Amino acid sequence: MLSDGMLRGLKPRATTYKVADRDGMYVTVSPKGTITFRLDYRLNGRRETLTVGRYGTKDGISLLMARERCTEARKAIAEGLSPSQEKQREKRRMSEAKTFESSPTAGSKKPGWRRAPSRCARASSTGTSCRRSEIG
């Protein structure tokens, strides 16, 4: 079983490796030293993996938080839901919402946005001619 001190002592190797915790949870240690909590589970006869989060003090999660998230995921698995697929759906929803909010046609335009001038418009502003064959 993992402890906080054990996680801090994990050192990177040439390839990614795993260290088991309990109940299907484990951590992977990348060659760069990133420690990631993961959970392996079976649902409908298929093996799936849920990435719970990264370990760390800045933007990561603690061992206790990772275990709590795994407990929540196991409850969802018991109900027949796939936590990894739900996580992917949520990410898609968030990215679609961001894309819609940031598009210039959705709502107000951002300051400084304008349409790029066409070739003919650039040609007329410089005093040169524009032929039909150049349009397009």
The pLDDT tens digits along the chain (136 residues) read 899 999 999 999 999 999 999 889 999 999 999 999 999 999 989 999 999 999 987 889 999 999 999 999 999 999 999 998 888 898 899 888 877 666 555 555 555 556 666 666 555 556 666 565 545 5
Q: How many domains in the chain?
A: 1
In a domain, 110, yes or no: no
**Residue 21 covered by a domain:** yes
Question: What pLDDT does 49 receive?
Answer: 94
Domain extent, residue 59, equals 1-83
CATH number at residue 52: 3.30.160.390
Q: E strands within the chain?
A: 17-20, 25-29, 35-43, 46-54
Contacts of 120 (CB under 8 A, 6+ apart): 130, 134, 135
Q: Is 13 part of a structural domain of the chain?
A: yes
Amino acid at 25: M
Task: State how far the alpha carbon of 89 is from the alpha carbons of 6, 83, 94, in Å.
Answer: 33, 10, 9
pTM as predicted: 0.68
Sign of CA dihedral 22, 34, 49, 19: negative
- Tell whether 135 is covered by a domain: no
d(CA 92, CA 105): 20
